Amino acid sequence: MEKSKAEQLVLIFDPERCTGCRYCEIACSFQHYGTLTPERSHIRIFVDPQRMELEASDCQHCEEPACAAACHEDAIAKDETKGWVTLNSMKCTGCYSCIFACPLSCPWFDKEHRVAAKCDFCDGDPVCVKYCSPQAIRVGTRAEALKFARQRYRREKSA
């Protein structure tokens, strides 16, 4: 059954809940590469210097993914049913176009395999969510993510 774009699942990050433990990064790197190395994770936790709070950089599985549009090899595709943007590493030539095109620079260059890599939503069961004990990362619909972002940034503007 095809979901509307508003019903497609995405990751929602709440910086007020994040403790900076980086278990999400460790779980992701272990799931995909069998190593406990945050640098090999598809999600990145960092300090936002403007707000001085923790923030996450993770693929938003965009409705119109710039990374896919920039890929010369058609290695990145959007699954219109699930909403996930996936990367086929067998087609990737490591040209960096997707990395440069993404507004969040979510695809990253895997030096060991010489290809781009990015979140694949763990086929619908993201391990980053499972291992986030403060529940700073959760799975929600695209509509819920938009509502959360609007509330968060509206509150910041009025403060």
Q: Where are the domains of the chain?
A: 1-58+121-159, 60-118
The top-level CATH class assigned to 60-118 is alpha beta
Which residue's structure tokens are 């990395």? 99
Nearest to 117 by CA among 28, 2, 18: 28
- Determine contact, residues 30/36, Cβ cutoff 8 Å: yes
pLDDT category at 154 given cuts 50, 70, 90 is confident
Mean predicted confidence (pLDDT) in 38-54: 92
pTM of the model: 0.88
- Give the tokens for residue 64: 């119109």
Structure tokens at 69: 């549009």
Average pLDDT over residues 22-37: 97
Map tokens 């699942």 to a residue.
Answer: 9
Average per-residue pLDDT for the chain: 93
Q: Could you report the per-residue pLDDT of 116-140, keeping only the tens digit for each?
A: 999 999 999 999 999 999 999 999 9
To the nearest 5 percent, what fractions of the chain are helix, strand and coil? 35, 20, 45
**88-101 confidence digits (pLDDT tens):** 999 999 999 999 99
Q: Do 82 and 124 touch, CB atoms closer than 8 A?
A: yes
Neighbours of 98 (CB within 10 A): 28
Phi and psi (nearest 5°) for 46?
A: -150, 165
In this prediction, residue 43 carries a pLDDT of 97
Domain spanning 1-58+121-159, CATH class:
alpha beta
**pLDDT at residue number 147:** 95
1-58+121-159 matches 60-118 in fold: yes
pLDDT at 37: 94
